Structure 1
Amino acid sequence: MAARILLRHVLRCPPARLVAYPEARLTAEDWAAYRALVERRQAGEPVAYLVGEREFFGRSFLVSPAVLIPRPETELLIELALAHLGGCPRPRVLDLGTGSGALAVTLALELDAAEVTAVDLSREALWVAMANAARLGASVSFVHSRWFDALCGERYQLIVANPPYVAANDPHLGQGDLRFEPRSALVAGADGLDDLKTIIAEAPHHLDDDGWLMLEHGYDQAATVRSLLTDAGFTAIRSWTDLAGIERASGGRWPGRP
């Protein structure tokens, strides 16, 4: 499968062409380019970085080593957001740690008249996200910030985030695609909870009354995240499972303060 994707990338052709013309020969230039990509793939480099894009929620997003590669399980946050905000005439949405912009851009395109703001601490990531917004025709405001630091006084009906949640000593960091992805987008302290704790603690200052916070987290972190949400004063707290049956996202409603 990877070999076909790389070949299509070199030839800039649809999948049908490879099937329709199996006897076609590569030019010397195309063969050299294809061989170079195959060698990089054999060394473990992710296919998404090699071809510069990855599909997310039915759209192609540009990616680079500056951003985390969008994953299918993160589409759960999109589905939850659409279910909660589908009837809102002009929802204000915040995407924290936007990376490639997959969440922010998709929500801006799927929600009519939504006001979407995307935040990231990495300027390189923001360049990728802005390119995706422009390429796909999405209206998104981008802010360079560490979480909420540059958002003083701003409030939203929904905050979504796929923050770093991997423990610093997790052995998976030395395996597969994770070896090539930015550590800053993966690792969050000794137990992987540092950024989740920060977001949950600060979110009430940036949510409208009855606004929602929805977070992606690790496969074994749901109970802890629900406890953190409870301690912070959220209500209607629950977790949602991905297609593999794993509790992949948790969230709650901010009731406001008397």
Structure 2
Amino acid sequence: MSLARVRLRRDGRAAAARDEAVEAARAAGLADERLTALFAHQVDPEVARERLAAALDPTQVWLWAEQPALLGAAQLLARWHACGAADVLGGAVGRVLADNWFRRRGLASYPVGGIAVGFQGHRSDYKPAGSLAGDAWTVVFVRAAERAALAGLALHERIERAEGAVLERYAAARKDTLAPQIGRVLAARPAATVRQIAEALGVSDEPVRRHVNTMLRRGLIVEIAGRQKWRVIALVR
């Protein structure tokens, strides 16, 4: 069998799986027209490369770096849409890049939540295209960043309370218990697998798994993915 035929068969299976996932999401009410359109169309690699190069032109990146971080992120996202990168690669990718611009410039440790959170309930304000040099988009973006920051601080407070509950529950426990350390690992990230927690603590999987089972029974953490080998754990928030 030729390599071309193998590739066609593989691409056909991938397309069928993608279509099935889109239909399932639509049937469950989890996908709107924007999401299904994004997953349903095939991206031309050459066009994607061209739009990506235009959106992230090195000269523009240098100009953004010379400005305050919020203004640079606002212009990055505006250019992402103005250059048509959003039409090919999706607007979400541009928002993730803006989030990481905050991190690159030292405004945030992790892009948790991100600028998209700031536009929740304000979707009609999200009009970056055509506003590359305009003040109107910058004002809208800064306000969204403020809302996202407030949401992030509220989330941080809930995480601190959850971490405190773990530490309080195990305050009188044996000194060798891993539970408080597991709580700290989960406070520093949205969720983690047993393997990721074990690697962060420098121990094997088995003791982490035992403590995770105990913490699950006590209601201190939740399991958000149930596969035994790839269990994903998070603090109760």
TM-score class, shorter: under 0.3
Higher strand share goes to which structure? 1
Higher helix share goes to which structure? 2
Higher relative contact order (CA 8 A, sep 6+): 1
TM-score by length of 2: 0.26
TM-score by length of 1: 0.25
